Amino acid sequence: MPSDDSIHPDPDDPRLTERIRGFDQDGNPIDTRVVVERPLTLFLNGQEIVTMMTIGDYPDYLAVGYLANQNMLMPDDEITGIDHDDDLAVVVVRTERQTDYEARLKKKTLTSGCAQGTVFGDLMESLEGAVLKPDAELRTSWLYKLTKAINTMPSLYLAAGAIHGCVLCENDQPLIYMEDVGRHNAVDKIAGYMRLNGISGLDKIFYTTGRLTSEMVIKTVHMGIPILVSRSGFTAWGVDLAREMNLTLIGRARGKRFIALAGEERITFDSNDGADDPPREGAV
């Protein structure tokens, strides 16, 4: 596996963007970079699960994270292999346990995630009994440092826009930064990395550029992470679920401003030091 300091977007990867000729508002010719999206079909053992639209980096993490967050990969499942064929645009995850999700695949719920995210089966059932660490902490000084660090990291957004980012953090340090055309894909890449590297979410903070929807709350709880932060806003169901699951939910985190609508008891208001500059705008 790559080391932690290499787990971040690579704006210079030629496969992730391409240059296209166009015109600006004054009719002048321009040459601009745009994000490339491509299909990736996921198989679990011998069964086709889904075809995702993705930028194509870290397909192994995306595949494992997707299956884990869809409750198709159990915590005690042994992964015996992950095969990715770039030419065929296929990734196959193999497990020791035999799997058959034909019935579940017939039941789909279209989510509010961009790029047509889907949730299979009754994912709420997978949250039954989930307990998030009650004494996890988010200091305001950490939050301000995190937003400044995240918004100054090299990214595909700065290079081409039209993309979402998600970051796994610990205290005031970003650990893993993933981007994709859909925020759910970026979440799943981080979930896959955590699963394959045995990383616990108990003491982590999750940051996303996207809306705080029910899907984001469900996936964050499923990863065992007690604190979810976004520079974007909320949906009512997302807030209701966060309160029900005792998830700390912070939105509109820009510069030194934020709004907490759930789990505010984990927040320590210790400092206003940190990022003075408002974060750059992202896809919402």
Q: What is the pLDDT of residues 154-183, one digit of tens each?
A: 888 767 777 889 999 999 999 999 999 988
What is the 3 state secondary structure string of the chain? CCCHHHCCCCCCCCCCEEEEEEECCCCCEEEEEEECCEEEEEEECCEEEEEEEECCCCHHHHHHHHHHHCCCCCCCCCEEEEEEECCCCEEEEEECCCCCCHHHHCCEEECCCCCCCEEECCHHHHCCCCCCCCCCCEEHHHHHHHHHHHCCCCCHHHHHCCCEEEEEEECCEEEEEEEECCHHHHHHHHHHHHHHHCCCCCCCEEEECCCECHHHHHHHHHCCCCEEEECCCECHHHHHHHHHHCCEEEEEEECCEEEEEECHHHEECCCCCCCCCCCCCCCC
Number of domains in the chain: 1
174: CATH:
3.40.140.10
Greater confidence (73 vs 11) lies with: 73
Within a domain: residue 212? yes
Please give the Cα distance from 178 to 171 (Å, whole number): 18
Contact 182, 113 (CB under 8 A): yes
Per-residue confidence (pLDDT) for residue 159, from 0 to 100: 73
Residue 229: give the domain boundaries: 138-268
Answer positive or negative: Cα dihedral of 275, 5, 75, 235: positive
Contact 228, 220 (CB under 8 A): yes
Mean pLDDT of the chain: 87
Contact 34, 17 (CB under 8 A): yes
Flag the least confident range among 23-37, 96-110, 241-255: 96-110
Looking at the chain, the whole-number percentage of residues with pLDDT higher than 70 is 85
Within a domain: residue 256? yes
Per-residue confidence (pLDDT) for residue 102, from 0 to 100: 74
Within a domain: residue 100? no
| pLDDT tens digits for range 211-235 | 999 989 999 999 999 999 999 999 9
| pLDDT tens digits for range 103-114 | 777 665 445 444
Within a domain: residue 1? no
Per-residue confidence (pLDDT) for residue 261, from 0 to 100: 98
Looking at residue 3, its amino acid is: S
Within a domain: residue 165? yes
Checking if the pLDDT of 276 tops 80, the result is: no
Please give the Cα distance from 217 to 203 (Å, whole number): 16
Per-residue confidence (pLDDT) for residue 155, from 0 to 100: 81
Within a domain: residue 248? yes
- The pTM (predicted TM-score) of the whole model is 0.86
Flag the least confident range among 6-10, 90-94, 162-166, 220-224: 6-10
153 Cα distance to chain centroid: 16
Within a domain: residue 107? no
Within a domain: residue 190? yes
